[in-house]
Structure 1
Amino acid sequence: MVNNKSSQSKYLISPVALLISAVLSPVSFAEDDSLEVIEVQGHSQNKHLALGSSDSLLSNSGVDFSAAGGVSNLPILNGMMGDRVKVLIDGADVTAACANQMNPPLSYISANQISSYSVVAGISPVSAGGDNIAGVINVNSISPLYSNSGELAWHSGYLSGRYSSVDNGRAIGVGARLASDTTSFNYQGSFTDADSYDDGNGDLVLDTLYRAQNHSITAAVRDEVQQLVVKLTHQKIPYQGFANQYMDMVDNTSFGVIAQYKRSLDDGEFEGQLNWHNVKHEMGFFTPEKMGMMPMETDAEDVSYQFKWLLNLDHNSRLLLGHEYFDYQIDDWWPGIEGSMMMGPDDYVNINQGKRQRIAVFAEYENQLDSKWWLNAGIRVENVRTDTGEVQPYNDGMSMGGMASMSGMMAMEPSNAMAAKAFNMLDREKTDTLTDANLLVSYQISNYDELQIGLARKNRAPNLYERYSWGVSSMATRMIGWYGDGNGYIGTPDLDAETAHTVSVTYSKLEANDNWRINANVWYTDVADYIDADPVRNLNTTGDVTQDRNALQFTNVDATLYGVKIDLLANIYESTELGNLQLQASISNTRGTRDDTNQALYQIKPLQTKFSLSQQIGNFENTLTWEWVDSKTRVDNNRFENQTDSYHLVNFTSKATWDAVTFTFEVTNLLDEYYQQPLGGVSVAEYKMDNTNGFMQLAGQGRSVNLGVSYSF
């Protein structure tokens, strides 16, 4: 939201970062074998090469991503993206404070800071989080470790670095820890810097450069029955390109505090957490790869608390009771530009003192009924209140965009001034009552196979942009939307909450000698009042159909989604000469349609398969991966979604560890294949540079040679 800032003028380390000093332990990742919940957690040395965004970690757990910025891709679970996926960072609910969701929750934590995470798609327990219909991703960095000494002293640390050739990317991760038997202090930081990357043809993919840093300092104290943890966070992103948006990020500065208290009780456990997160976010233009002149700004704050009481009813059953409160507030305005007839003289007020408040209670019961049957059931009731103040356009005269030429004629743009007056006359306060329920049953068929069946009703209330984006002119609508599709969006104040009913069946089979295991999951989701968008008018003023885009208005429809996923893990060979060889394979397919038109929902990934052959011998770990993605032919015509061709990617990774040092050599897209990302949206940056080809799909990265090193001490 600033104007024409140069990337060269931005500092790599913010002044606040220089004030943060403390210490943190090393972390690494090991997969859990559960059916519905996929967890990665643990601690070990020399494995801090996971730098940059968390995409690569979560992708291995079945999470897809809608392309955005280099650190800000939006997660997709079961074909649903954006706010339909609840993302918690250390248990805290952080809201994307941007009309394009340029700062989603996962952008506030780097991969090297993550100590554990869980992915629960579809059938998530009510305690995992509400206000979502796709599932819950919980990423954790709070993992205090203590020593055996009564004296506070140095415990451990690490320093990691990584370089990638495709984008000249540089990343650094730092961690250190001081600890005693009752006290722990941790620091973790990361710095990433990358240029725009090349595709498989060797062409520059415009406006994909970025720079970011994240810092956290955590203090923990404990005794025999309780623990208190306080975590401070800071992020500084001086710039980040968004190839599939009309704007870029030119600053994102945030601070956060988490206070977490746990206490053991005679019959269970109590946990309480307080969260505060503040962000100042600016959009504008900073690179000649996508020129423009328009500032946009947001100030936002998340304040929340969660209380949970775990009661052990008997040896086999327990009851979890919870109460949560969330308060999100945002101001979104676009400063007027001096001397501009269209973007001035006043500030354009998009959201004025917007509020989204949630209060929830839940109860969850779990019982190991006998040696074969396990049960989890819960109910959650949540009240969501949204509101916003009066708004204003740039001016009360000619609408933003003025007169537009269409087929040789002059057509008047819709008036933002009139839209603002109509919006201000509305009763803008809305209240939604959400009732979630889940039932998950697991049956141990034998010692080697298990069947799990889940049923869930889940709800999500509209976000503030879906309800309160009031602008109607071409440029105003194009500033709204996190889909990367080049279209424009208009809010609908009387949107209803989404209600999803999901059934999921998972079968797991383990070979008697544990040489292989297979998981197969089938799921079906019916969504009432799914928030989609219908065309209001075409934004194309050229007469060239390749440049067609729509202004769309958010609306409620019914939708159906379903899918299947099969995973295989097998030990295929072991010898002294070749070491251990392991095969991993997965195949997944998702479909989603609107019930009224049978049209495909937006950004549903086509059939995909993945095979990995891993070798571990001595100090070396080598992995060869082949991934194939089918052509995408089922597309959302309302959004002019592009079809994409099938493609395959081959990646190779080699890792060697000696004592405290780990080296990594990696080649991604080994065959340097050109491909278009089926979930990438369109390249607005390329369109603005040369619109003769219309809105082309965003291309993926070409071959990259990546080098990494990590030292633990």
Structure 2
Amino acid sequence: MSKVQHCGVLCPQNNTQLMVATSSKIAKLPLALTMIGAALYTCNSFADNDTTGNKKTFSNAIVVTAPSLASPITTSINLNETPALQSASDGASVLTQIPGFSAIGNGGTNGDPTFRGMFGSRLAILTDGAQMLGACPNRMDNPSSYINPAAYDEVSIIKGPETVLWGPGNSAATVLFDRKREDFSEKNSRFEASVMAGTYGRFDRRLEGAVGNEKGYVRLAANESEANDYKDGDSKSVASAWDKWNSSVAFGWTPDKDTWLELELGRGDGEAKYAGRGMDGTKFLHETAALRFEKKNMSEHWSKLEAQFNYAYADHVMDNYTLRPLYSKKAMRKELDRRTQSGRVASTWDWDTLSLITGIDAKQEVHRSGITANSAGNEDYSQQQSGIFSELTWFLDDSQRLVSGLRFDNYHATDESNTTATAGESRNKTLTSGFTRLERDLSHMPATVYIGLGHSERFPDYWEIKPTNSSLSGAANAFAGVQPEKTTQIDVGLNYKIKNLSWWVSAYTGIIKDYIIFDYSNSSITKVDKVGNVDAIIAGAEVGARYQLTPHWSTNASVAYAWGQDTDNNDPLPQIAPLESKLGLTYKRDQWTTNTILRLVAPQNRINEDRGNVVGYDFDQSTGFATLGFNAEYHANQYLTLATGIDNLTNTSYSEHLNKAGSAAFGYAGTEAYNQPGRMIWASLSVKF
């Protein structure tokens, strides 16, 4: 029996798709383009046949487009061809367009993404297979803050604990930002440049070029994004300015069609004002190096060998005087850094009815604090992880697949400080994660269904276990007291289409033993966060639908809901985003695509006051709100694209439930959330050849 392609979501290039702002460093453009419409881009859902005759299922991702997927539990988004993400400044801005995602805000940029109410290392975020971990002990420079969306071609989200291929933990989801391989089989060079300008001083520019042939290539890229403080719907200025830049160079070697070797080096820096924090980020220096290798068709059944080795360094400074007026008499400055080294080797084996991916991975991280101009600082935490994993797909027949995975991870963490109760002590732990999922293409209707059972054991990350945190359990500190988190979850879903109507649903319910939770009830007195474990249950769903009204008009909608309960104390889990819905209308004809989106967010009354995570906590209930946005895209020819839009057209004054309370330095009360941007107008020009 020949293998069939996994059913998933595939979107042809002529469908409307998301486009991240790209930019070249040229003179600022005047905002003279007419604002025409739309912020919602979805892909058509339909069934078709590939060149081998195998049936493929296509599904609607609603807010964003979704290219081909490895399984129906994965959503993939093309980042190159849609204006809906034109104003995205970081990874969180991209992810919040997808049903189920939210972000804990800081100011104008560098939000910390959450999925289904889960946060931090429950949501693994990788760029080209590597993690860029920040240095701030309060995640001021979270992993997504180092991501420039324009530098990547697609992002894939694997929901739930339904894969073991990309590291341990990842109980909420695995997020993969990836860049396409360079292909110079038909040309010797490529060049991309774009610029985007908007209200509140927004100005992005980007250049990327590559030259090569069938044997190898060189790629250079550089980008910068900046903005001033924005104004909310009440015309109140919100501390939110930023200026960030990134650069990279890559050298590739492709001696034959089955071999690929690439060395990439990157560097960037920036600064950002944070309305929701007592200090701003005045340095986000990051340096990366990656060596990637892939060899296909190793033998009859050994289909692929892949390996990568990564280095990441983050040097972060935060203070309360560089970007804001000194609110108190005491100036504060902290500099910290983190070095992360990681590696992964995996092999893919294929037989008639079986496909096996197996491999090993490892990561080492060292964190330092107390860095000054005259001192290199001191190590205060280190961690080593090594794992072995295997994922098997069994093609039961032409319509059914059984996918199972298992991984074992060993951790060794050390309190490297010399001032805490656990100074010099180490923790060692071996954890197990795995899943089994059944996927079936229904014969009596054009639909795919799946059900999966996954279990993830997650070692506390640095932010949760850092020795300066107190323990809720009565242990000496968090390093001694916080236990690994164990999540067991069922995921189910269906992708369906008939005629001009398509819809999909994904739902989950899980039991979390030793859920890691932060308690801020006494933080104003002790200035120390307390961290501990509780047992919890979670549940929720994302639903979407699309209807093709006419050959040129389509409408679409999505709804996402997450729920959690602390079963030890019979309290809601904190930091859960409220019910959210998006309604969209799309028009596409010839070179034009215009869209509109109405975002509806319900109040969140289920809070757990003074409890949360390392970034935020529940301090008040939130009210609901609605926003309307428009954007449009015009493909003048195969080289030139114009895009324009208006975000928050109605100039609504609102704040997100997960945003932090505003800093007193900017005039906010202790429990007053800062507002999101008011009406924002932008326009962009991109060239590609």
Q: For this structure pair, what is the TM-score category when the shorter chain's length is used for normalisation?
A: 0.7 to 0.9
Q: Which runs of 5+ in 1 are unaligned?
A: 1-11, 14-27, 337-345, 393-419, 478-488, 541-548, 575-579
RMSD: 2.7
The reply on whether 1:606 has 2:578 as its aligned counterpart is yes
C-alpha contact 1:647 1:675 (8 A) present in aligned 2: yes
Q: Which runs of 5+ in 2 are unaligned?
A: 1-23, 26-42, 44-63, 612-617
C-alpha contact 1:190 1:215 (8 A) present in aligned 2: yes
Q: 1:89 maps to which residue? A: 127
Distance in 2, matches of 1:493 and 1:97, equals 21
C-alpha contact 1:334 1:348 (8 A) present in aligned 2: yes
Matching residue's letter, 2:508: W
The reply on whether 1:615 has 2:615 as its aligned counterpart is no
The reply on whether 1:315 has 2:367 as its aligned counterpart is no
After TM superposition, the structure 1 = structure 2 runs for residues 61-460 of structure 1, keeping only pairs within 5 Å, are: 61-62=98-99, 63-148=101-186, 153=188, 155-165=189-199, 167-206=200-239, 208-222=240-254, 223-237=256-270, 239-264=271-296, 265-266=298-299, 267=301, 268-285=303-320, 286-288=322-324, 291=327, 293-312=331-350, 314-333=351-370, 352-392=379-419, 420=420, 422-424=421-423, 428-446=425-443, 447-460=445-458
Shift in Å, 1:591: 0.7
C-alpha contact 1:642 1:697 (8 A) present in aligned 2: no
Matching residue's letter, 1:275: N
- Which of 627, 642, 645 is residue 649 of structure 1 equivalent to? 627
Distance in 2, matches of 1:468 and 1:624, equals 45
Q: 1:407 maps to which residue? A: none
Q: Map Cα deviations across residues 298-320 of structure 1 (whole Å, 9 max, x no partner).
A: 121111110001111x2231111
Once superposed, which parts of structure 1, at least 4 consecutive aligned residues long, lie more than 6 Å away? 42-48, 346-349
- With over 3 angstroms needed to count, the CA separation of the structure-2 counterparts of 1:603 and 1:470, relative to structure 1, is same
C-alpha contact 1:280 1:297 (8 A) present in aligned 2: yes
Distance in 1, matches of 2:565 and 2:670, equals 26
Shift in Å, 1:52: 2.7
- With over 3 angstroms needed to count, the CA separation of the structure-2 counterparts of 1:635 and 1:182, relative to structure 1, is same
Segment drifting more, 284-293 vs 374-383: 284-293
Distance in 2, matches of 1:627 and 1:495, equals 38
C-alpha contact 2:80 2:154 (8 A) present in aligned 1: no
Q: Map Cα deviations across residues 2-32 of structure 1 (whole Å, 9 max, x no partner).
A: xxxxxxxxxx99xxxxxxxxxxxxxx99523
Distance in 1, matches of 2:652 and 2:79, equals 35
C-alpha contact 1:89 1:105 (8 A) present in aligned 2: no
Shift in Å, 1:646: 0.6
Shift in Å, 1:582: 1.5
Shift in Å, 1:696: 0.4
Matching residue's letter, 1:163: A
Shift in Å, 1:470: 2.0
Distance in 2, matches of 1:48 and 1:215, equals 21
Shift in Å, 1:139: 0.6
Shift in Å, 1:137: 0.4
Q: 1:401 maps to which residue? A: none
Shift in Å, 1:119: 0.6
C-alpha contact 2:549 2:555 (8 A) present in aligned 1: yes
Question: If the length of structure 1 is used for normalisation, what is the TM-score?
Answer: 0.80
Matching residue's letter, 1:310: T
C-alpha contact 1:49 1:710 (8 A) present in aligned 2: no
- With over 3 angstroms needed to count, the CA separation of the structure-2 counterparts of 1:581 and 1:194, relative to structure 1, is same
**Larger Cα-atom Rg:** 1
- Which of 692, 700, 706 is residue 676 of structure 2 equivalent to? 700
User: Secondary structure of 1:96's partner?
Assistant: coil
Matching residue's letter, 2:487: A
Distance in 1, matches of 2:521 and 2:173, equals 31
C-alpha contact 2:308 2:345 (8 A) present in aligned 1: yes
User: Secondary structure of 2:370's partner?
Assistant: strand
- With over 3 angstroms needed to count, the CA separation of the structure-2 counterparts of 1:602 and 1:254, relative to structure 1, is same
Shift in Å, 1:423: 4.0
- With over 3 angstroms needed to count, the CA separation of the structure-2 counterparts of 1:42 and 1:371, relative to structure 1, is farther
Segment drifting more, 85-94 vs 100-109: 100-109
Q: 2:20 maps to which residue? A: none
Q: 2:489 maps to which residue? A: 502
Percent identity of the aligned residues? 18
Distance in 1, matches of 2:78 and 2:287, equals 26
Matching residue's letter, 1:553: K
Q: 2:537 maps to which residue? A: 560
C-alpha contact 1:653 1:667 (8 A) present in aligned 2: yes
User: Secondary structure of 1:306's partner?
Assistant: strand
C-alpha contact 1:503 1:523 (8 A) present in aligned 2: yes
- With over 3 angstroms needed to count, the CA separation of the structure-2 counterparts of 1:325 and 1:526, relative to structure 1, is same
Q: 2:49 maps to which residue? A: none
- Which of 529, 542, 546 is residue 569 of structure 1 equivalent to? 546
Distance in 1, matches of 2:574 and 2:383, equals 26
Q: Map Cα deviations across residues 444-470 of structure 1 (whole Å, 9 max, x no partner).
A: 122501210011001211122322342
Matching residue's letter, 1:520: V
- With over 3 angstroms needed to count, the CA separation of the structure-2 counterparts of 1:471 and 1:130, relative to structure 1, is closer
Shift in Å, 1:33: 6.3
Distance in 2, matches of 1:379 and 1:521, equals 23
- With over 3 angstroms needed to count, the CA separation of the structure-2 counterparts of 1:535 and 1:438, relative to structure 1, is same
Distance in 1, matches of 2:428 and 2:164, equals 21
Matching residue's letter, 1:332: S
Shift in Å, 1:57: 3.0
Shift in Å, 1:536: 6.5
- With over 3 angstroms needed to count, the CA separation of the structure-2 counterparts of 1:96 and 1:602, relative to structure 1, is farther
The reply on whether 1:667 has 2:646 as its aligned counterpart is yes
- With over 3 angstroms needed to count, the CA separation of the structure-2 counterparts of 1:496 and 1:457, relative to structure 1, is same
- With over 3 angstroms needed to count, the CA separation of the structure-2 counterparts of 1:240 and 1:371, relative to structure 1, is same
Give the number of the structure with larger relative contact order, counting CA–CA contacts within 8 Å between residues 6 or more apart: 2
Distance in 2, matches of 1:508 and 1:390, equals 51
Shift in Å, 1:102: 2.0
Distance in 1, matches of 2:609 and 2:257, equals 61
Shift in Å, 1:662: 1.4
Q: Map Cα deviations across residues 120-139 of structure 1 (whole Å, 9 max, x no partner).
A: 12133111331222111011
- With over 3 angstroms needed to count, the CA separation of the structure-2 counterparts of 1:112 and 1:121, relative to structure 1, is same
User: Secondary structure of 2:522's partner?
Assistant: strand
User: Secondary structure of 2:238's partner?
Assistant: coil
Distance in 1, matches of 2:531 and 2:82, equals 49
Distance in 2, matches of 1:235 and 1:211, equals 11
- With over 3 angstroms needed to count, the CA separation of the structure-2 counterparts of 1:47 and 1:552, relative to structure 1, is closer
Distance in 1, matches of 2:107 and 2:430, equals 34
The reply on whether 1:58 has 2:95 as its aligned counterpart is yes
Q: Map Cα deviations across residues 464-512 of structure 1 (whole Å, 9 max, x no partner).
A: 232234277xxxx9xxxxxxxxxxx97342311101001011012111x
Shift in Å, 1:289: 5.3
- With over 3 angstroms needed to count, the CA separation of the structure-2 counterparts of 1:538 and 1:39, relative to structure 1, is closer
Q: 2:7 maps to which residue? A: none
Q: Map Cα deviations across residues 498-533 of structure 1 (whole Å, 9 max, x no partner).
A: 01001011012111x4x2211011101211111112
Distance in 1, matches of 2:477 and 2:643, equals 47
- With over 3 angstroms needed to count, the CA separation of the structure-2 counterparts of 1:148 and 1:33, relative to structure 1, is closer
Q: Map Cα deviations across residues 657-702 of structure 1 (whole Å, 9 max, x no partner).
A: 2112211120111111111111112112xx23436x3320121111
- With over 3 angstroms needed to count, the CA separation of the structure-2 counterparts of 1:586 and 1:33, relative to structure 1, is farther
Matching residue's letter, 1:561: I
